[in-house]
Each structure stands twice: as C-alpha cells, then as structure tokens.
Amino acid sequence: MNDKTILPDHKKKFGIRFESIAGLGADTAAQILAKTAVLHLGLNSVQFSSYGHKKKGAAMRSFIRFSEKNIRSTAPIESPDVIVVFHSALLKNPATLAGMKADGILIYNGSDKLPANLSHLPSTTKLIQIDAQRIALKEKTSLDAVLLGTITAALPFLDFSTLQSIAPNKNAFQRGAQEFEILSNIGKGKGNLPISKPKPTFGYETAPIGGTFPCTGNTIENDLSTIRIQWLPILNIEKCVHCGICEMVCPDFCFVWAHGKNNQIYLQGIDYQYCKACLRCVESCSTGALRRKSEEPGMADKLGMRRLK
Amino acid sequence: MIEHTEFLNGKEAAALASQDIKPYFIGEQAAMCYGASLGGGRVFNLGTMPEILAEQSNTRIPIVQNLVTSGKHLDTALNSGWIILLARNPQAVYDLNLAAVKIGEHTDIRLPVIVCYDEYFTHEQKHRLHVFDEGIQSFLGEPKAAITALDPNNPVTFGSKTFNTNKQHFMAMATARGVIFEVLNEFEKLTGRAYPILDAYRMDDAEYAVILLNTAAETAKDVVDQYRDKGLKVGVISPNVIRPFPIEDFITTLKNVKTIVVGDRAEGGNISLEIRAALQQDPNNKTVVLSRIYGKEFNEADVEAFFELAQNSRDAIPFDYYGCYKGEADYKPPKGLPVIDAKVASMATITGKSGNLKVELAPLWAIADVTNRIAPGHGACPGCGIFSMLRQIFSVLEGELVILFQSGCGMVVTTDYPKTAHRITYIQNDSQNGATTLSGLVEMYHEKVRRGELAESNDITFLMITGDGGMDFGMGDAIGAANRNHRMIIIEYDNQGCMNTGGQLSDSTPLGHSTGTVEKSFHHKDTAQIFAACHLPYVFTASEGFSEDLMRKVAKAQWYAKREGLVYGKIMSFCPLHWHTPDSVAQSVMQAALDCHFFPLYEVEKGKTTLTYDPDILGTRLPVTSWLKRMGKTKHLLNPKNAAILKSFETEVERRWKRIKAMHEHEEL
Ligand SMILES: Cc1ncc(C[n+]2csc(CCOP(=O)(O)OP(=O)(O)O)c2C)c(N)n1
Ligand code: SF4
Ligand code: SF4
Ligand code: SF4
C-alpha cells in the first residue's frame, strides 16, 4: 500500500482509454484500477464508460483519469496516454486508435498475425501485445482479469502487489503481467494520431423537421460482424432440408433464400455481415445442417453470401 | 465527524445517502412517496424520472427527490414550487441529499426538495468522495410533522382545490433563503465542505465570467485557472441553489463584471432570463448578458469559446444556440432498401366465421421467403427474441401496415438516427400513451377513408409493439383503447422486465426472479386475462419459440382488427442478456416455460378460451424447476433456502393454469 503515488508527470492528469465490446469486462477492469488508485494508492481518479445503447456485443469505451490533484473534467479522453484494445475486430474502426500519443502505450489483445491497421501507429508509441484470450480460456476467467496484469506491469506507478492482491484471478493477473511481448518497428507514423471526428449526418439546416427521416431499412449498411468473438454458424447444404426453421429464429435476418425450378424455395447461405453468432439457428436446426465452428480470419468472407433484397 | 473515502458515481452516492439517512420510506414513484410522506415520516424518492408533482409543494410535504437531467427536466421542475439544489459531482450528490432533508423539514419551510445533477456525467461517472461513518442523525434531527394523515384522533382534510396557497408558499420560499444558508453553513463546519448559495470561482476582480450549471461549471474552472495564470481577469459562477433563485447573490457578484455568457442546457434559456431580471433590480449594473444554449457535452474548448464571445461581445446577438451542427448541403443518408410491395402472396388462409376462424398456414419454407418489413443491421443483443418475433409477425400480416413502438429495446436498437431498420411507416412513442396515440391515428384513417381522401383498398393495419414494462406504464392508456375497441392490434413482447433500462423488474417479472435491482417480491401480472376482461374480439398468448402457433394467431388478429376491433397479444420473448443464459438457448428455455404450465398458450376468441398447446395431453409436462434451472436469473430459486418462494410460485403457476384449462373446457367461462 502506497500513501502517495507519483505519476510520470505529476503536474498532469494521466489518461487511459479502453476500447472494447460490451460483455468483455472492460468496465469492470477500469473500475478496479481506478478504485484501487483512490482507496489504496493515494491517487485521485475518475472512471466512466460510454456505451451506445448498452446492448451486448456493442462497441464501448471505458475511460480512467488519474491525477495527484482534484479532477474536475468529465469529458471523454480524446488523447490518452494508454489505449488498451480488447479485441482485434475493433481495429476496423479508425476511431479505436484515434488520439494515440507518440510517447504513449498501446496494449493490444491478439494472437500471432498483427492487423495491418497497427502500422498507422506513431513509430515511437510503445506497442505491447498479449494473447489475453488464450490465457483467459486456460485460466477459465474473463479477458479483463488478464489485461489487468498486463496494464499493471506496463505502468510502474500502479503498485504491483496491491493490484495483484485485489485482482479477481491471481493466476490470470500474473500471466498477463508476464506473457506479453513488446513489439518494435510496427508503427510507421510520426507524431500523435489525430483525434476522431464525428461522421457527417443531418444537421439543423439539412434535416427534415421534427426528427423524422425518410429512410427505409438503411441499417443494412451496418457491419455487425465485429460482435462475433468466437464462433461462426456454418451451413452444410447437403444436410439441409430447406425447412425454414432457421429463418424463423434468426434475430438478425441472415439467411438467404432463392427460388429454384418450379418456384421452389430453397436456402442458399448465410449473410455473415449481420450474424452476431448467437447460434439460435444451430440450436433449432434439427438436421445438423448448421454447426458452430471457431471463426478464423477470412472464414466468413469465404463461406458467406450477401442478401440481395 | 468521522468519515471514510469511497469511489462512487452519483447514482450510488444518492443510494448511499438514502441509506445513511435511514428514512421511513424509500420509493421510486412520486405519487407513492407523496402518499408515504402524508404519514409524517422521512421519505426519500430515489426514482430519477422527472415526475415532479406540484401537489407535493402545495401541501407543504417535505420529500427529497433526486432528479437526473439533461436540461429539459430541470425546465419543468423550475416552476413546480420545489426547492432545488444543484449537485456538481458525486460528493455534492451525497452531501446535498443530507442537507436537503434538513432544509425541507425545517418547521418554517416544510417544502419538498430536489437534488438535481447531470445525466451520465454525474449520474454514471465514478469519483472519489467522503462519506459519513456516524453523526448523520444528530445533524438531521428528528423528523417533525405537525399534521399527519396517520393520526386518527386528529382527522385532517389534505388539499382543498378552492383555497389558494400561493402567497403562503411564496413566504416559505423567502424564509428558505436564510434556512438554506444556515444549514449549508452548519454542514461546512462539520465537514469542511463548502456549498455557498452561489459558487463564485475566482470572481474577485473578474471582468468576464461564464455562468454554468453543474459539471459544465467544473470544467470551466480548469480553463479559468489556465487563463488566470496568463493574467486574464476571468471567473466562473455556478449556483448550488437555484430555487429559491439567488437574486441578491447574483446582483452582488456581478456588480463590476463587464460581460457574462450564460450557458443553459434547457431550451428557453430560463437561467439567463432570470439573471437578466435580477440585474434589472440594480440600477447601477452595466453587465452585458449573453445567453447560449448548448447540447449535451460541454468541454474545455467550449469554455474557451464562451470567453472569446464575452471579450468580443459588441456584435454578438444576445440569445443563440451554441455548438449545433449545421449539416452539409450535399449530405445524403445511407441508402436503404426499396419500399415493399404490399401485394404479396398470402401465407395464411382464413376460413370460418367470426368467433370460429380456422387458419391454414403455408409451410415454413414458403414463409421464409416473404419480404421482411424490418431490415437486418439493427443493434440488439445476439439472440434477442424481439426480432425473431417481429420476423414471424411480419410474415403473416398482409397488406399495408403502420407500426408504433413504445420505447424499449425494440425501439432503441432500430432507430439510431439517421438509420432505421424499419421499412414501413414507424412511429415512436414514450412507454406511456402509445395505445392512445395509435387509436387517434386509426380514427383519422377511417375519417379519411370516409371522406374519400384515402382509398379503402389501402386497407392499412395498425399495430402497436410494446414491452411488458411499457404495458405497466401504458396500462391505463391501453385499457382505454381496449374499452373504446379501436380497430388495431397491441402486441406486448414479454421478456419479463424493463430490459432497455438495465433489466429492472416489471409487473410481469415472475416471483423471485432476480432483476437489475432487486428480486421480485410479488407474482407476475396476468396481462392477457386483464385484456380478456375487456371483452375484446380476440386476445391471445404466444411464444416466439413456437412460430407456427404464433403466426396462426397473428393472422387471426389481423382479421379481427380489420373488422371488429382491438386485439391484444402477449408474446414471450427471449432476452439472453437479462435472463442470464447463453445466447443460443431460446428454444429450450421457452419450451420449458410452456411445458411447466408457466406460460399457457391460448386464445380468447369472442369470449371463448381455447388452449392451443397442452403439455398434459402431449405428455411433455415438466416441473417448474426444470425451467428455472436454465436461467441465471432464477437458478437461486432451486436452493433449499428459497423453498418457500419456490413453493409459492409453483402453487400460483398451477392455480392459473387450472383456471385457463377450466375456461378451455367450459364454453361459458
Ligand atoms: C412513460 C415512460 N416511463 C419511463 C420511460 C423510460 N424507459 C424507456 S425504455 C424503458 C423500459 C421499457 O421496458 P419494456 O417495455 O419492458 O421494454 P424492454 O426494455 O424490455 O424492451 C423505460 C422505463 C419511458 N420511455 N416512458
Ligand atoms: S433449419 Fe436447418 S435444415 Fe432447416 S432450412 Fe435451416 S439449415 Fe436447413
Ligand atoms: S448465429 Fe444467430 S445471427 Fe447468426 S445466423 Fe444463426 S441465428 Fe442468425
Ligand atoms: S437486453 Fe434483452 S430485450 Fe434488450 S436487446 Fe438485449 S436481448 Fe433484446
């Protein structure tokens, strides 16, 4: 237990941003860090999360500010000292790395193959990779339990033994603190990454009055595939009897049907852009035509198809 | 004063304060709290919905109510006759809740008190704060009520519509100024935490100031510190008390200030109007007042823009909106799907007469090809049953449709501006009066057809979708629409809770089920029987896990809604997030709910009840526990220590099942 913790720059606030998906434990991990700092490390801290609409699988962010003094600001942290990426799929969105500082730290949960987007990072940013998913599975715990260890190891001002004693899973914490790799020569950028700008939409001069909008079904633009974190439903068309049950249970309208000869209607495939891998279809298909498989990169593109209507 | 440190958000700070105060009653509904406080004990309203009743201030009843606001709600509260304290961070939420009790109960005042703080920023962000270990009761003193509704020896009439209490109320508010000052002073002596009526930050020699409420003011203080370091004479003013309005304090503080920019989140700019009115009372005051309405967030850059405006006020217009996005002229929203051709093949053939319809359903594979009226790409949780249900409903409804959703998950995840998953006309309504709104539209439709302005061949079907929570808040309205028997359909998706707001209980949550807040302490509401008692042409229950049965009933629903009147259907709908199950197990969990008699599938057609699925006959009967063991929210009920709750639940389930079965067997029931 520290009475007084000294931050790297003790005049400034130190900011951390977690980039995650609701359900992966980012909010819990952020709360543990911030609460420990306040109750045991003599620091001040503020913690909060922002979710779209708090549904499972939606992208979310969690923020922590540390300071040796009072903290008044309640704004989201646009350019944090540390960004922790909980899932590689999040890198598809450029906002995930927005505001990354050239002298900051990026902690990235992922295995072997590095996503190409990481090359946008400033070359001087410290890049730490940890396969937290694998460790979490082995230790039968959640991602946050592992990443807490990695974050603590990366930030010397967080007292290691205090956090370890509070960690929800000691082994996972220990492994998170040890089994990471520091990667070099990945980032090619110079200087801080720019902060993210909101996408254009209707404004008060252009929007139809009263919040009405004359659109029909334009959510089809959305890509929901980032919500899948492990499985993919796979259709074995040989076993399919085209009964239609999967269509009745799929909440995300992923099944693609076609008309054959004699106007017969048959199942063609699955549009994985909308599939959240709930696996309700797998549960309900009685012929075994639908099975779950662990999703590998590229698998959905290869096996899926697009709905046309 | 003994205290310790905590790390809490505003919501938790309010909850902790409410426990530490040890009130006689903690409620969430304004009217219930009002009733409780008529009995004389200390009452605390933890509900954060802006239900501010003028009755409470008229009857001079002290209640403490927390109000979480994004601006608008404060507007409404300002003229409700309540005292209003503003809490800028979780520490202030805790402290001012304690002070509020003492202020409101003061014998010279006796008024309800609102503690108001910012949605999201204060309500949800966690901060460090100090809380009391002891000493609260001696600070608060005993609650004293001279008149109560619980004193049979001294009967009282509460509230007369013919006596005007306004002047008395005005006098109490005037007295409150001094009392609030005293109480907050006493609090400061105890804790060292100061809450001046008007927080004037670095205002001593300030020439320019911004006036802001709550978290925005705190952000501004950081900017003011930086400007002061550069030698600029600037400050921030933010009230801790807004009712009664601190007129004198504003006059004194603004005496020598050249320009102020008042930032309001509420629409009309109430605060700036009141400041202007206050300054009128000082003939020597020359302060220029600029008023700006801002949106949700207010960051350092915005404070800088306000000071910039203050320093260049000569050409500035006095009132404007600030930071609103203008839009780009060439912007087009994302392209969606084409408008649906309503003239598609019918998937349900209906024969027979009113009171005895028969439905022949096309095979599922044929139905699978029907163009959906809702598009993929919505943001519900994986496995959400609302959307499987909608798929099934839209597969059998024929012709043109207009739908209305009461707020809830189904609404939130389909209409993220400017994207919509709906391919037909869709109306959003609060969870309260959707049925009334839709019934108005139904009447307009028939009038337009009567006048020949709409072709009868359009033949629109009107459908309202609501959650079970919405069927609590909106029950009065829905019953009204049912009694008037408008030609429309009300579908309630029953996922056994208010899921959109975090899985809280609704009246339809079954006994003992754990929810986002507490375990349910009373039995589930039998909404289908309530509507059956309205003697509608058609009432049904269904499960989205049994699609053929559901679709047959929806086809009948449309037949009756077009010809005879209002139809109500309650549909069990899977919610893996708040039932605490894997996302994939909808089928097995809901099947168990049918097989254990918990959710009888039946229809009431022109008064005649028919079970459409009977596990006793099919031999699929299961005990209630084999349903409960499948969900995280109910597993604990299998623990022997909950045997009494389980027993009570099983007995009630069986009693209700037997009733429906008896109705099924007897034509007259
Ligand atoms: C009259 C009213 N009270 C409260 C709210 C806030 N609110 C929005 S959604 C919601 C929950 C609705 O629950 P339910 O109808 O069961 O739908 P679900 O969230 O389960 O989809 C609440 C309380 C509201 N919109 N309107
Ligand atoms: S449920 Fe199975 S068998 Fe039936 S259509 Fe779907 S994949 Fe084919
Ligand atoms: S896994 Fe879920 S979302 Fe994906 S296709 Fe199956 S039912 Fe649809
Ligand atoms: S919380 Fe439940 S009802 Fe709401 S979207 Fe998620 S699964 Fe559906």
pLDDT band at B49 (very low <50, low <70, confident <90, very high): low
Question: Are the CB atoms for A270 and A247 separated by under 8 Å?
Answer: no
| Radius of gyration in angstroms for the set of CA atoms belonging to chain B, rounded to a whole number | 29
Assigned token pair, A12: 């400034």
**Of B637, B543, B632, nearest to B592 (Cα)?**
B543
Q: Which residues pair with B69 in a beta bridge?
A: B118
For residue B545, report the distance from its CA to the centre of ligand 2, in Å: 16
- What contacts 24+ positions apart, CB below 8 Å, involve B529-535? B530/B475, B530/B479, B531/B478, B531/B479, B531/B482, B531/B568, B532/B604, B532/B609, B534/B479, B534/B482, B534/B483, B534/B566, B534/B568, B535/B607
User: How far, in Å, CA of B660 to CA of B613, rounded?
Assistant: 12
> Whole-number mean pLDDT of chain A?
93
Alpha helix segments (H runs only) across B256-345: 270-280, 300-311
pLDDT band at B162 (very low <50, low <70, confident <90, very high): confident
B283, exposed or middle or buried, with CB in 10 Å at 0-12, 13-18, 19+?
exposed
CA distance B430 to chain A (A): 15
For residue B224, pLDDT over 70 is answered with yes
pLDDT at B50: 63
Check if B367 contacts A (Cβ < 8 Å): yes
**Of B536, B606, B666, B663, nearest to B354 (Cα)?**
B606
Phi, psi of B241 (to 5 degrees): -130, 125
Which of left, alpha, beta for B547 (phi over 0: left; psi -120 to 50: alpha)? alpha
pLDDT at B479: 98
CA distance B307 to chain A (A): 18
Helices B300-311, B214-229: inter-axial angle, 10-degree rounding: 70
Q: Is-cis flag, bond preceding B244, omega within 30?
A: yes
> Whole-number mean pLDDT of chain B?
94
Nearest to B385 among A48, A244, A251 (CB): A251
B530, exposed or middle or buried, with CB in 10 Å at 0-12, 13-18, 19+?
middle
Ligand positioned closest to the Cα atom of B493:
1
pLDDT at B28: 85
User: How far, in Å, CA of B294 to CA of B267, rounded?
Assistant: 9
Per-residue pLDDT tens for A23-74? 889 999 999 999 999 999 999 999 999 987 778 888 999 999 999 999 999 9
User: How far, in Å, CA of B380 to CA of B537, rounded?
Assistant: 33
Alpha helix segments (H runs only) across B459-583: 470-473, 475-484, 527-532, 547-563, 576-579
Question: Are the CB atoms for B524 and B511 separated by under 8 Å?
Answer: yes
pLDDT band at A1 (very low <50, low <70, confident <90, very high): very low
Which of left, alpha, beta for B107 (phi over 0: left; psi -120 to 50: alpha)? alpha
**Of A131, A122, A85, nearest to A104 (Cα)?**
A122
**Of B566, B620, B569, nearest to B597 (Cα)?**
B620
User: How far, in Å, CA of A103 to CA of A99, rounded?
Assistant: 11
For residue B346, pLDDT over 90 is answered with no
Is B215 in contact with A254 (Cβ distance < 8 A)?
A: no
Q: A44: which chain B residues are within 8 Å (Cβ-Cβ)? A: 128
**Of B188, B193, B225, B320, nearest to B264 (Cα)?**
B320
pLDDT band at B667 (very low <50, low <70, confident <90, very high): confident
CA distance A303 to chain B (A): 19
Q: Which residues line ligand 4 (CB under 6 A)?
A: A 55; B 380-381, 384, 386, 409, 413, 495, 499-500, 575-578
User: How far, in Å, CA of A16 to CA of A39, rounded?
Assistant: 18
User: How far, in Å, CA of B549 to CA of B551, rounded?
Assistant: 6
User: Considering only alpha carbons, which residue of chain A is nearest residue B302?
Assistant: A75
pLDDT at A200: 87
pLDDT band at A89 (very low <50, low <70, confident <90, very high): confident
Nearest to B388 among A38, A200, A249 (CB): A249
Calculate mean pLDDT across residues A127-147: 95
